[in-house]
Structure 1
Amino acid sequence: MTAQRWLQLAGGAAWSLGVLVTARPPSAGAGWRLAFVACALAGVLWAGWTLRTWRPSPFAVIAISFALRAAVFPLNPALSDDGYRYLWDGMVQVGEGTSPYRFRPSDPALAHHHEDAAYRRMNSPDYFSVYPPLSQAVFAAAGAVYGAGWRASWWVLKALIVAAEMVGVVCLIRVVGARAAALYAWHPLAVIEVAGQGHTEGLLVGALGVLLWDVARHPALAGAAVAAAGWVKLYPFALGAVVVQRVGWRGTVSALAVAVVLALPYTSAEAARHATESLRLYMGTFDFYSAPYLLLKGALYHSTSEPGLVAARLLGVAGVVWAGWVVATQNRSVTRTRWAVAALVMGFTLTSTTLHPWHLLPGLFVLPLLLSRKSYLWLSAVTSATYLVYVWPPAYTSAVWAGWGGAVVLFSFDRLEALMRYRAWGKWRRLRPYVPVLRPGARVLDLGAGEGYVGDALAADLGVAVTAADVVHFGSGSRRVDLYDGQTLPYASGQFDLTVVVFVLHHSADPAAVLREAVRVTGGVVLVLETVWTAPWQKAWLERADRLANRLRSGAAIDEEPLDIRSDAEWRSVLREEGVAVRRTRTFAGLHPQALYVLDGHGAAASSTS
């Protein structure tokens, strides 16, 4: 391995061990909590740096995932006291032989356990348990060793949850590839909250992984995975609405059977009543790291006596509307079904009023299936700072607005990229009718490629290799860009069968030189698409719009000068002066008038029609 790779491995070990040392209860003091947040943020930077410079194999992703989790596994429930409630529910099932939904922990019937560490350190002892049956079954498995001490039960519990999570990671690797799966597997949030704090989101991740993998192959297993996911967190039952279209009757029957089998040991009218009571209190009482909820609550403050409750219901309605749209636009293809699963998980996550760090894990897990990733990665990274709420409340408030504010900005840029890709397909559709028949293995040049989106569209449509060239590389397209000086291209004469030059000449210091080089390196056809003005007033307006669009696209990467938008007649004059053979021209009217010039390349027969 290279020195850089060893450094990256050492960095992973350093931040994970740092978490082990610094993740202490709030009573340890603000200094320890600040150190923990610093370690968690360092882990985010480590993961980003490592995945930008390394394409790990599936084995490497799994091995490093295990190593990171092993480093933090010894942690007690120091960051969250949920773990003690898990242990309590497991102990009640095994030690008392009763349902965890029957009694509140504070009930006098369980007073002989009130000196246990699990009771003294748990949260909300006056609430009935809200954890669904599959979670309770895992708690019971850990409760079988509660007599050996709560720590033994805690380690068994975490081992089971981590094992389920790693099943999900392996499945995700098979669906999206090792590098994309590492976005979740190596993320500090996943490592800390599952292996460190034992949150049941690890069970949900395992079920989601099986669902995403088997939805293409084994309908019965996919259906079972939906039921398992639903009995970990309830909202995944909504996934059945999109999955059933893919898995058919076998998957549906499997889902129903597994749901019934998991629920039967805990089913009673009393259990349903008590769990519903606590869920209602939970959903109407708690909120955390949800800027949409805070904004809605603030807006409703003077118009209703219960702004928090109304805000929570509005968010719930938004989640249902989103789910309805996803279901309505669903089809039976594997790709669309997987996207729909990811979209539903993300929708329910972001419309929740309570987003503790571990609640973000399901969204992080399905993130590789979605196009917009940066905003959620930012939201997930900043959430570690919310742990400061217990020692420094103003820092928590800052984290909420920094997390969501940054996510909105990044999402806006993601949408801009999506818009530009959409527009690139529009540009390509205008060029497509004038593309000659290309031989197998044809070579195409995208000259002045920018982000490379037009080249991406061309390559996807024609299935040919595309070379990108420009005077600067500022884009995030998938193609490598060959840089040149704007005068002489580093290619042989006639090297390409087709060259496209899209909205390039008006940014060229010497457009004639660009045209000469495009013709020289092309043995077939050169397609030039240019912005043109049709009335004098348009020239100034189009140049202002061009400058604004390029600032949004690239900041300072595209120089505002030179910028010279010309009329169709002016571009024709340039072509005549250069002696370029024009096969055909076409103009497109509208708010953004354009002209298309079909030119003969080097050695092509010269014929000119207008």
Structure 2
Amino acid sequence: MLFFKKYKDALLILFGTIAYFIFAYFLERTEFNKLLFLWFALFGCAYFLIKSKTIQTSTLIGLAILFRLIFLFAIPNLSQDFYRFIWDGRMILEGLNPYLSLPETFIQQGLHPIADANNLYNGMGEMNGSHYTNYPPINQLCFLIAALFASKSIFGSVIVLRSIIILADIGILYFGKKLLERLNLPIKNIFWYALNPFIIIEMTGNLHFEPVMLFFLIWSLYKLHQQKWVWAAILLACSVSVKLIPLLFLPLFFQWFVQPISNSNTHKVTWIGLKLEPKKIIKLISFYAITLATIIILFLPFYSSEFIDNYANSVGLWFRNFEFNASFYYIFREIGYLFRGYNEIAIIGKIAPILTILFLLSITFFRKNKSMVQLITALLFGLCFYYFTSTTIHPWYLATPLILSVFTKYRFPVIWTLVIIFSYQAYANNPWQENLWFVALEYFILYGVLIYELKKNYQYYKIVK
């Protein structure tokens, strides 16, 4: 015991290094028991490293990079999406628009427009190969970079894609730390993201590009806090152009720009009961205009008459067709089975986005979002409401609520990244099949922690008032 106390930090680092190595090179996603053991063990390791009073911040940064580099030469073992990333990048390199064609069309016709076409198609799977790509332009740029450096090697492309994601995480560390300093929050908060095994495994390991999106988002929030709102708008557009999810945040910036005024000598207008400065309204509109204009400019190189239909249909599939690891949706689906005898996804999938929009509007106008912490808290709960009502929650979606929680009083997203591993039980079955008891356990724990934190923070605000 004395030996463990003396060398605890070194033993934790050694264990984490070995466990990540096993995870990267000696694990199949069908090995659910092994997956669970490594996952929970690594979370325990990360917790004690972050809580350690003897480890310096610089050491934690070094460990965050080291653990990611362990995966550098590993082929992703929990996801096959990267095959589509490589396909899209090589299509662009050949001068072909990836938004206008289906991989399966080429394969069925015996055509090979890119190197390793058959291997990439077989790797991505029939479902992925039969749908139009839905990855925005900056994401496609990352795929193109991989094609430029490794146009004939899948292994080489994986290394390039992973290097981009690692660099993005380093950027998140840099700007996240600076934003925490500006907000007078503990610097160590950033390691709930940077040392989180979920982030290291799902993003660096499985090549999901949320870190690139989040790099631009955190940089944008940092610039916004500096009052450099033009740069913030451009960077927010770049974030949307990696993954579309930050589009949900646009309404929530309202109060940051347009705050009620009390000075009777200032020119003002009245809107929904609020007295507002025209200059601030113009600034808000300009922020939105710059953001949307930048997004349009980034999409322009891919524009054609077919592009909008293909892209809209591809994005719409997530609301109309796919079901995975859902929360309230599964409850509503079961109710539909009882009363109508068939799946209600066609109806529920259309209602959920409407509910999300109404919720976003309610916290936009009826909740205080004037400070940066209040704004980020609104972003966190707006996004989580969308996820709670969604038909599909893949594990990598949680990267966004996790990084947002770093700048708030809430830690339930950290717990969600821990229990999301239960969703991988579906891959232990052949053929693939979800066990809803595991899904129920995941959300039972999550909502228990969420309710506890809401009550705790409510009591805190009552005492402060």
In the superposition, the TM-score normalised over structure 2's length comes to: 0.83
Residues 538-557 of structure 1 mapped to structure 2, 5 A cutoff = none
* Shift, 1:236, TM fit: 0.8
1:408 to 2:447 alignment = yes
The letter of the residue matching 1:99 is: N
Residues 503-582 of structure 1 mapped to structure 2, 5 A cutoff = none
In structure 1, what is the Cα distance between the partners aligned to 2:368 and 2:295? 24
Between Structure 1 and Structure 2, the one with more helix by share is 2
Query: Which residue in the other structure is 1:42 paired with?
Result: 41
Query: Which residue in the other structure is 2:327 paired with?
Result: 291
The letter of the residue matching 2:11 is: L
Query: Which residue in the other structure is 1:417 paired with?
Result: 456
1:215, 1:246 within 8 Å by CA — same for their partners in 2? no
Identify which of 117, 141, 147 aligns with 2:145: 141
Residues 460-499 of structure 1 mapped to structure 2, 5 A cutoff = none
* Shift, 1:61, TM fit: 3.1
Return closer, same or farther for 1:370/1:10 CA change in 2, 3 Å cut-off.
same
Residues 325-336 of structure 1 mapped to structure 2, 5 A cutoff = 325-328=362-365, 329-336=367-374
Return closer, same or farther for 1:423/1:252 CA change in 2, 3 Å cut-off.
closer
Return closer, same or farther for 1:121/1:203 CA change in 2, 3 Å cut-off.
same
The letter of the residue matching 2:350 is: R
Query: Which residue in the other structure is 1:237 paired with?
Result: 247
Return closer, same or farther for 1:19/1:233 CA change in 2, 3 Å cut-off.
same
1:55, 1:179 within 8 Å by CA — same for their partners in 2? no
Residues 318-329 of structure 1 mapped to structure 2, 5 A cutoff = 318-328=355-365, 329=367
Three-state SS of the structure 2 residue aligned to 1:88 is helix
Query: Which residue in the other structure is 1:355 paired with?
Result: 393
Query: Which residue in the other structure is 1:111 paired with?
Result: 111
The letter of the residue matching 2:210 is: E
Query: Which residue in the other structure is 2:270 paired with?
Result: none
1:20, 1:72 within 8 Å by CA — same for their partners in 2? yes
In structure 1, what is the Cα distance between the partners aligned to 2:448 and 2:256? 35
The letter of the residue matching 1:3 is: Y
In structure 2, what is the Cα distance between the partners aligned to 1:273 and 1:395? 32
Query: Which residue in the other structure is 1:607 paired with?
Result: none
* Shift, 1:413, TM fit: 1.9
Residues 447-458 of structure 1 mapped to structure 2, 5 A cutoff = none
In the superposition, the TM-score normalised over structure 1's length comes to: 0.64
In structure 1, what is the Cα distance between the partners aligned to 2:396 and 2:409? 22
Between Structure 1 and Structure 2, the one with more strand by share is 1
* Shift, 1:332, TM fit: 4.2
The letter of the residue matching 1:417 is: K
Three-state SS of the structure 1 residue aligned to 2:242 is helix
* Shift, 1:241, TM fit: 2.4
2:318, 2:392 within 8 Å by CA — same for their partners in 1? no
* Shift, 1:195, TM fit: 1.1
**Alpha-carbon deviations, 1:254-279, whole Å to 9, x = none?**
42443133111112221111111222
Query: Which residue in the other structure is 1:187 paired with?
Result: 196
* Shift, 1:395, TM fit: 7.6
Query: Which residue in the other structure is 1:208 paired with?
Result: 217
Three-state SS of the structure 2 residue aligned to 1:369 is coil
Three-state SS of the structure 1 residue aligned to 2:406 is helix
Query: Which residue in the other structure is 2:91 paired with?
Result: 92
* Shift, 1:365, TM fit: 1.1
In structure 1, what is the Cα distance between the partners aligned to 2:330 and 2:72? 35
In structure 1, what is the Cα distance between the partners aligned to 2:433 and 2:379? 36
Residues 6-21 of structure 1 mapped to structure 2, 5 A cutoff = 6-21=10-25
Return closer, same or farther for 1:384/1:50 CA change in 2, 3 Å cut-off.
same
**Alpha-carbon deviations, 1:315-353, whole Å to 9, x = none?**
323322221122213554333333333333333333332
* Shift, 1:359, TM fit: 1.2
In structure 1, what is the Cα distance between the partners aligned to 2:451 and 2:373? 25
The letter of the residue matching 1:105 is: P
The letter of the residue matching 2:100 is: R
Query: Which residue in the other structure is 1:277 paired with?
Result: 313
In structure 2, what is the Cα distance between the partners aligned to 1:87 and 1:229? 21
2:133, 2:311 within 8 Å by CA — same for their partners in 1? yes
The letter of the residue matching 2:135 is: Y
**Alpha-carbon deviations, 1:565-598, whole Å to 9, x = none?**
xxxxxxxxxxxxxxxxxxxxxxxxxxxxxxxxxx
1:156 to 2:160 alignment = yes
* Shift, 1:156, TM fit: 0.9
* Shift, 1:3, TM fit: 2.1
In structure 2, what is the Cα distance between the partners aligned to 1:268 and 1:55? 57
In structure 2, what is the Cα distance between the partners aligned to 1:400 and 1:326? 28
Q: Which has the higher relative contact order, 1 or 2, with Cα contacts under 8 A spaced 6 or more apart?
A: 2
1:244, 1:252 within 8 Å by CA — same for their partners in 2? no
The letter of the residue matching 1:89 is: D
In structure 1, what is the Cα distance between the partners aligned to 2:74 and 2:12? 24
Query: Which residue in the other structure is 2:350 paired with?
Result: 313
Three-state SS of the structure 2 residue aligned to 1:232 is coil
1:384 to 2:382 alignment = no
Three-state SS of the structure 1 residue aligned to 2:100 is coil
1:22, 1:35 within 8 Å by CA — same for their partners in 2? no
Query: Which residue in the other structure is 1:83 paired with?
Result: 82
Three-state SS of the structure 2 residue aligned to 1:111 is coil
Query: Which residue in the other structure is 1:372 paired with?
Result: 410
What is the percent sequence identity of the aligned residues?
19
Give the unaligned 5+ runs of structure 1: 427-610
1:13, 1:68 within 8 Å by CA — same for their partners in 2? yes
Query: Which residue in the other structure is 1:467 paired with?
Result: none
* Shift, 1:37, TM fit: 2.7
In structure 2, what is the Cα distance between the partners aligned to 1:100 and 1:395? 32
In structure 1, what is the Cα distance between the partners aligned to 2:68 and 2:242? 21
Return closer, same or farther for 1:425/1:411 CA change in 2, 3 Å cut-off.
same
* Shift, 1:73, TM fit: 2.4
Query: Which residue in the other structure is 2:280 paired with?
Result: none
The letter of the residue matching 1:323 is: L
* Shift, 1:184, TM fit: 0.8
In structure 1, what is the Cα distance between the partners aligned to 2:368 and 2:55? 33
Query: Which residue in the other structure is 2:63 paired with?
Result: 64
In structure 1, what is the Cα distance between the partners aligned to 2:55 and 2:381? 27
Return closer, same or farther for 1:116/1:144 CA change in 2, 3 Å cut-off.
farther
Q: Which has more radius of gyration?
A: 1
The letter of the residue matching 2:224 is: V
1:167 to 2:203 alignment = no
Query: Which residue in the other structure is 1:224 paired with?
Result: 234
In structure 1, what is the Cα distance between the partners aligned to 2:195 and 2:390? 25
* Shift, 1:252, TM fit: 4.2
**Alpha-carbon deviations, 1:386-419, whole Å to 9, x = none?**
2231224788433311110011222222233224
Three-state SS of the structure 2 residue aligned to 1:112 is coil
Identify which of 178, 195, 201 aligns with 2:187: 178
In structure 2, what is the Cα distance between the partners aligned to 1:105 and 1:308? 27
1:349, 1:363 within 8 Å by CA — same for their partners in 2? no
In structure 2, what is the Cα distance between the partners aligned to 1:163 and 1:363? 20
Return closer, same or farther for 1:386/1:378 CA change in 2, 3 Å cut-off.
same
